[in-house]
Amino acid sequence: MLAMKDVRLSPHEKRVLAEMERALGRDPALARRLQEMRAPLAAPARRRSRALTAAVLAFAVVSLTLLAVAVAYAHPMLLWVFAATWLLTLAGLVRLTLRWSRGMRSTPPVLE
């Protein structure tokens, strides 16, 4: 099976494809319908990403506060609670980083 990057188009096919893309780009009804189809899928993902970002920030604040209190009182249980919240913070950061890097790679392939 050929991947999209392995497909070669003749100059004529490239010209016809470019004409089709220009014609479709000038159709406002099509653009509106495509946007409506895309919008319901993007909103929940955006909401989840914002919720994860807020949770990571909250865990970071809580864990840094716990670290300060644990150091001040030198209580072992506070250190363990800090370690647990710090691990949750790191897990959230890893997940946010992976989500961000996936978004960076989602550019469409270039046809030659």
- What is the domain partition of the chain in residue ranges? 11-105
pLDDT at 9 over 60: yes
pLDDT at 86 over 80: yes
pLDDT at 22 over 90: no
Q: What percentage of the chain exceeds 90 in pLDDT?
A: 37
First to last CA, the chain: 18
Sequence-separated (6 or more) residues with CB below 8 Å from residue 69:
78
- Per-residue pLDDT band at 32 (split at 50, 70, 90): confident
Dist. CA 95–CA 72, nearest whole Å: 31
**Which pLDDT tens digit goes with each residue over 39-59?**
665 566 667 778 889 999 999
Give the per-residue pLDDT at 95: 92
Give the per-residue pLDDT at 35: 74
